[in-house]
Chain A
Amino acid sequence: MLKIRVIPTLLFKGFGLVKGVSFDSWRRIGTVMQSVKVFNMRDVDELVFLDIEATRLGRRPDISTVDEIADECRMPLAVGGGIKSTDDIRELLAAGADKVVINSAAFADPELVRSASRRFGRQCIVASIDARRAPDGTYEVFTESGTRPTGLAPVDAARMMEERGAGEVLITSIDRDGTMAGYDTALCRSVADAVSIPVIASGGAGGYGHMGEVLLGSRVSAVAAASIFQFTQSTPIEAKRYLRQQGLPVRL
């Protein structure tokens, strides 16, 4: 049967080898390639690279960096950050990304997901939705790294993206992101119940138990995690061994 995916996410605030490179940027790209090599060796299910401040800072995707990363990747690779047009998507796919992750532009330009899905196939398009919880318990979707409110509820946004032709939804809890305090299972459950395309949970994984919680407490198809793999000794393989013990189907 179809296995649950554990997807390391590498978040960067610009990972390009572009003009005006400082020593800091070089070190960052070195870290990227190191991480890719390590994940390759560790035989992970999939990798996601996100340049999380790109849209807010008006930065476009760095094609040459994606090319280098893709050359090293023997597993599926999704890339996002600053994607604005179908041309951006075409270039990223040509450079080696298997899927693109679109957030802000998917909301700002209603035609983008639709035309990209038609042109490249829905399996290439991951709609990324960031949501923040209000004191009254409702959720609102924000774009541009959590700075721009949309007035939309996550389930409505997810349905909208599915209707436009997205192949998957990546749902991130802004509140939990980076806290390592656990996924927002209620948020993930509501989104996974609202659509019939695969949903990837994101934001808050601090331990394998958190992954088990969201996978057993909702119908998400995969868990994405950044901090836990970058800042602790936890590994995707150990996560999957734990999940198998909880009775979940994983690839080992």
Chain B
Amino acid sequence: MNRVAVVDYGMGNLDSVVHAFREAGAEAGVTRAPDGLFSASHIVLPGVGSFAEGMTNLRDRGFDQALRRAVVEQGRPFLGICLGMQLLAGVGVEGGRTEGLGWVDAEVAQLSPASDAERIPHVGWNSVEFRRADALFEGIPEGTDFYFVHSYHVRCSRAEDAVATTPYCGGFVSSLRRENVIGVQFHPEKSQRPGARLIRNFLALT
């Protein structure tokens, strides 16, 4: 039975995420202290809010070091959602220039409209276009819509880390992956059936 630790670092509501993983058949719970990471098979870092506050909260609670051990060193499948994906980068700009977890060669930048028609924040359903095949999107067709709500995006330095992009503001990375570290800019727990499928796919990773 998969045990999913959803990290609570004070950045937004976790119930929907926990519910979504439970519905997918995993044992899922909120982890408020770093120790909880080590009895989990999968780790999820959700989050909405500012990059700077997110990093401060992770550090204050000792999560940054524990996550590095549990994920980067020990190899547990990891899913960063929205802010949780952005924190994977080396540096963010929201709330002042801040160092991120730095597990992925990337930086966070503001979304920049390519035309008058594009508004910020990017809110609503938009499509994913695959740069490469990945087990995370098994059974999810090219062009499927997921729910986005954000003003910043991740710029990957290595092209091979980008799994999917979304056509908005010149195109941005909507999903990245480096080995067991996965990030999605959209909210799978709010994306109805495709989101549920993605969550099941994530759980199938070992």
**B120 and A75 form a contact (CB under 8 A):** no
Complex CA gap A76/B16 in Å reads 10
**Which A residue's beta carbon lies closest to that of B195?**
A74
Contact with A along B170-206 (1 / 0, CB 8 A): 0000000000000000010110110110000000000
**B125 and A251 form a contact (CB under 8 A):** yes
The answer to whether B124 has its CB under 8 Å from any CB of chain A is: yes
Q: Contacts A76-B149, A95-B13, A122-B151 given: A5-B49 contact, CB under 8 Å?
A: no
The answer to whether A121 has its CB under 8 Å from any CB of chain B is: yes
Which residues on A are within 8 Å of B, measured CB to CB?
1-5, 43, 45-46, 67, 70-71, 73-76, 93-99, 118-124, 167-168, 196-198, 219, 221-222, 251
**B48 and A123 form a contact (CB under 8 A):** yes
**Which B residue's beta carbon lies closest to that of A124?**
B48
Out of B49, B118, B124, B145, which one reaches A121, CB within 8 Å? Answer: B49
Residues from chain A with a CB closer than 8 A to the CB of B119 are 196-198, 221
Residues from chain A with a CB closer than 8 A to the CB of B149 are 76, 98-99, 123, 167
**A168 and B123 form a contact (CB under 8 A):** yes
Q: Contacts A2-B168, A75-B192 given: A121-B48 contact, CB under 8 Å?
A: yes
Complex CA gap A219/B117 in Å reads 8
**Chain B: interface size category:** 35 or more
Residues from chain A with a CB closer than 8 A to the CB of B49 are 119-121
The answer to whether B122 has its CB under 8 Å from any CB of chain A is: yes
Residues from chain A with a CB closer than 8 A to the CB of B12 are 93, 120
Which residues on B are within 8 Å of A, measured CB to CB?
12-13, 15-16, 19-20, 48-50, 113, 117-127, 145, 147, 149-151, 167-168, 187, 189-190, 192-193, 195-196
Complex CA gap A121/B118 in Å reads 19
Complex CA gap A67/B12 in Å reads 14
Interface centre among A2, A4, A67, A198 (most CB of B within 10 A): A2
**A1 and B124 form a contact (CB under 8 A):** no
Some 10 contacts from A to B, beta carbons below 8 A apart, are: A1-B168, A3-B145, A4-B124, A71-B15, A76-B149, A98-B190, A123-B151, A168-B123, A196-B119, A221-B119
**A3 and B151 form a contact (CB under 8 A):** no
**B123 and A93 form a contact (CB under 8 A):** no
**Which B residue's beta carbon lies closest to that of A222?**
B124
**A70 and B16 form a contact (CB under 8 A):** yes
**Which B residue's beta carbon lies closest to that of A121?**
B49
Among all A-B residue pairs, the 6 with the closest Cβ atoms: A3-B125, A251-B125, A123-B149, A251-B145, A123-B121, A121-B49
**A45 and B125 form a contact (CB under 8 A):** yes
**Which A residue's beta carbon lies closest to that of B119?**
A198
**A167 and B50 form a contact (CB under 8 A):** no
Task: Give the distance to chain A from B18, nearest Cβ to Cβ, in Å.
Answer: 10
Residues from chain A with a CB closer than 8 A to the CB of B13 are 70, 93-98
Residues from chain B with a CB closer than 8 A to the CB of A70 are 13, 15-16
**B123 and A3 form a contact (CB under 8 A):** no
Residues from chain A with a CB closer than 8 A to the CB of B20 are 74
Residues from chain A with a CB closer than 8 A to the CB of B50 are 118, 121
Q: Contacts A76-B147, A121-B48 given: A2-B124 contact, CB under 8 Å?
A: yes
**B121 and A2 form a contact (CB under 8 A):** no
Complex CA gap A97/B151 in Å reads 19
Complex CA gap A99/B49 in Å reads 12
Task: Give the distance to chain B from A214, nearest Cβ to Cβ, in Å.
Answer: 16
Complex CA gap A2/B120 in Å reads 12
**B123 and A221 form a contact (CB under 8 A):** yes
Residues from chain B with a CB closer than 8 A to the CB of A3 are 124-126, 145
**Which A residue's beta carbon lies closest to that of B19?**
A71
Residues from chain B with a CB closer than 8 A to the CB of A46 are 124
